[in-house]
Amino acid sequence: MRTSIFILLIWTFFSCSRTADNTNSASTTSVTSEAESSPETTILNFLKWYKDNGTNLASDLVSGNSGAEWDSTKFYAINFPATEKYLKTLTETGMLSNKYSDKWRDYFKKCDKQFKDHPANDGPPEGFEYDFILFSQEDPGLSELDKINFDVLKKDANSAEILVNFPSDYHYKYQLSKFGQHWTIDDIEPVFK
């Protein structure tokens, strides 16, 4: 009888823990899980997402003369529907704020004005020679995210400034804001040491 009760207790324990594990895994598969309790976690989750999903997002932000569509009679212009799609994809992760999108929306408007004031159709479009998240044409080490480290430059209850250091000697300053229990990225800037 004791053996039967013991087996029943073991079976119940494992059944409950398996159910709890399934419940937890369902809530952590969301990109914007409430479990993101630190700015560093948000940054790391965003970089993981970007490594898997984002590296080709900005490929058609400038229309005019790239690749197969090159036409010597057309000049560079911002493809605003593509820029909005790009920003929407980034903000839908739940890890980038509207403040981040607004910064880049202003940037694209300034670039469009520059293209109109100084028409060009040769070479890489000025201001679009690099990845807007990594600020480089090279990968700083997205495949080695387990080796990056964080330096907290400033942190209070609702904002944080974090320095992200890649082993490849790339450094980025992230500014974040907290809404409830969720941190979002407001800005990313390269830091040159």
**Is the pLDDT at 190 greater than 60, yes or no?**
yes
Within a domain: residue 128? yes
**Is the pLDDT at 154 greater than 90, yes or no?**
yes
Q: How high is the pLDDT of residue 12?
A: 36
Within a domain: residue 20? no
Within a domain: residue 134? yes
d(CA 57, CA 39): 24
Number of domains in the chain: 1
**Is the pLDDT at 23 greater than 60, yes or no?**
no
Within a domain: residue 18? no
Q: How high is the pLDDT of residue 150?
A: 97
Within a domain: residue 183? yes
CATH code of residue 168: 3.10.450.50
Q: In which domain, by residue range, is 86 found?
A: 43-191
pLDDT digits (tens, 9 = 90+) for 166-181: 999 999 999 999 988 9
Within a domain: residue 38? no
